[in-house]
């Protein structure tokens, strides 16, 4: 937290995938504005994000969302103490748009630049609405491209203890949604349809990685769903899409909850947080909330608006980097394959 009398204001930019976002964050945990332009409707036509189209739309919208974020906060660039931007991981074209915009602002104004890791941003989203939350704690990051289980040792200091060996959980949601004809984005659509189905109607496998107890694997589950659908088609049997959605979702949730709670107990920490787009899944939230209550574990989760990609979380992460004196040079580049904890 800010221990000096001076308030710190950070303009944050996020453009790693298909959301163009900008925010103004005060002292790391107070969001003065959080502007998001989503391209979901555009990419629905193609069944997923098309990087070239996403990049062009970011170029079109980036200045607009930055200006809107400053206007909503009733501030100007002169009031900012730093500019933060996501520089990886993500799609290289979209990342470059945000990084270029941030560097241009810093070059023109002399403001310091702070490059932020996208996944660290998701973890930091928990600090926005949970003012009492401080490290250490266990965090589960679940999104379309990532599934990580980690120990948050300190602000900006992480130890990855588990990761997916193949598909990310969100990726499996999207692929299964496409297979049962729901389209893109798959996560929210499966979540809605699953409420109409029986989660115990079909048994799908829950994978365990023998040599790494906290690691995940979802490709086998995805294949099992596809095999079930193909089997029904070959036999001429009708498919109950709601039952498939509910049974698949339950299999994913069971694995995520089991691994996460095992880590919390093994590391002796009584605080646990989730982050990432899939963290807004109602079934996952309910299952984790119930499991944590049974074990007297304090459970933290962001509001849905802070689960999906946004710039407020980037501003929060940047604040703690700023307090540590960390700055990025104007040679900062987009790093699409940036690993968690890596600093460039």
In CATH terms, the fold of domain 9-124+307-323 is Nucleotidyltransferase; domain 5 (3.30.420)
Tell me the percentage of the chain whose pLDDT exceeds 70: 98
Report, as an integer, the average pLDDT of 294-299: 96
**Mean pLDDT, to the nearest integer, of 28-48?**
90
Question: In the prediction, which pLDDT does 286 show?
Answer: 95
Task: Tell me what the pLDDT averaged over the chain comes to.
Answer: 94
Q: Is the pLDDT of residue 260 over 90?
A: yes
6: which residues sit within 8 A by CB, 6+ positions away?
none
Report the CATH architecture of 135-304. 2-Layer Sandwich (3.30)
The token pair that represents 111 in the structure block: 């403001």
Q: Which of 97-101, 157-161, 237-241, 304-308 has the highest mean pLDDT?
A: 97-101
Q: What is the pLDDT of residue 344?
A: 62
Q: Look at residue 43 in the predicted model and tell me its pLDDT.
A: 87
* CATH 3.30.420.40 location in the chain: 9-124+307-323, 135-304
Residue 310 confidence (pLDDT) above 70: yes
User: Helices then strands (H, E): number in the chain?
Assistant: 11, 10
CB 10 within 8 A of CB 114: yes
**What pTM was estimated for this model as a whole?**
0.92
For residue 185, cis peptide bond before it (omega within 30 degrees of 0): yes
**pLDDT score for 5:** 77
Q: Which of 121, 54, 119 is nearest to 84 (CA)?
A: 121
Sheet holding 298-300, edge to edge: 157-163, 147-154, 137-142, 271-275, 298-300
- Say if residue 40's pLDDT is above 90: no
**Residue found by looking up tokens 């307090």 in the block:** 323
| Average pLDDT of the residues in 92-112 | 98
Q: What is the pLDDT of residue 102?
A: 98
State the Cα–Cα distance between residues 323 and 29, nearest whole angstrom.
Answer: 13
| Distance from C-alpha of 215 to C-alpha of 63, rounded to nearest angstrom | 40
Give pLDDT tens digits for 174-207.
999 999 999 888 889 999 999 999 999 999 999 8
Residue 258 has pLDDT above 80, yes or no: yes
Interval 106-131 mean pLDDT: 96
């Amino acid at each position: 937290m800010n221990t000096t009398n001076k308030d710190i204001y950070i303009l944050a930019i996020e453009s790693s995938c298909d959301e163009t976002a900008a925010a103004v964050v005060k002292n790391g945990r107070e969001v003065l504005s959080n502007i998001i332009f989503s391209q979901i409707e555009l990419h629905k036509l193609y069944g997923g994000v098309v990087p070239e189209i996403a990049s062009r739309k970011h170029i079109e919208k980036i200045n607009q969302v930055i200006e809107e974020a400053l206007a909503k906060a009733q501030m100007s660039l002169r009031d900012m103490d730093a500019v933060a931007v996501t520089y990886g991981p993500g799609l290289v074209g979209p990342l470059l748009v945000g990084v270029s915009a941030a560097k241009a602002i810093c070059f023109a104004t002399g403001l310091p630049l702070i490059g932020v890791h996208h996944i660290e941003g998701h973890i930091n989203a928990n600090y926005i609405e949970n003012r009492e939350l401080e490290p250490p704690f266990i965090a589960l990051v679940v999104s379309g491209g990532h599934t990580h289980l980690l120990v948050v040792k300190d602000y900006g200091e992480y130890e990855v203890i588990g990761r997916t060996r193949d598909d990310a959980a969100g990726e499996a949601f999207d692929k299964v949604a496409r297979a049962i004809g729901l389209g893109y984005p798959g996560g929210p659509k499966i979540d809605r349809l699953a409420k109409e189905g029986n989660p115990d109607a079909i048994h799908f496998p829950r994978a365990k990685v023998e040599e790494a107890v906290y690691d995940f694997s979802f490709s086998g589950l995805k294949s099992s769903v596809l095999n079930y659908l193909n089997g029904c088609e070959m036999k001429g049997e009708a498919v109950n899409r709601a039952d498939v959605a509910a049974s698949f979702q339950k299999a994913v949730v069971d694995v995520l909850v089991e691994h996460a709670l095992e880590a919390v107990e093994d590391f002796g920490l009584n605080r646990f947080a989730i982050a990432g787009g899939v963290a807004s899944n109602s079934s996952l939230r309910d299952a984790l909330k119930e499991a944590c209550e049974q074990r007297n574990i304090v459970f933290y989760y962001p509001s849905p608006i802070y689960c999906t990609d946004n710039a407020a979380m980037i501003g929060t992460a940047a604040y703690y980097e700023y307090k540590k004196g960390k700055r990025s040079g104007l040679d900062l580049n987009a790093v699409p394959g940036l690993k968690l904890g890596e600093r460039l």
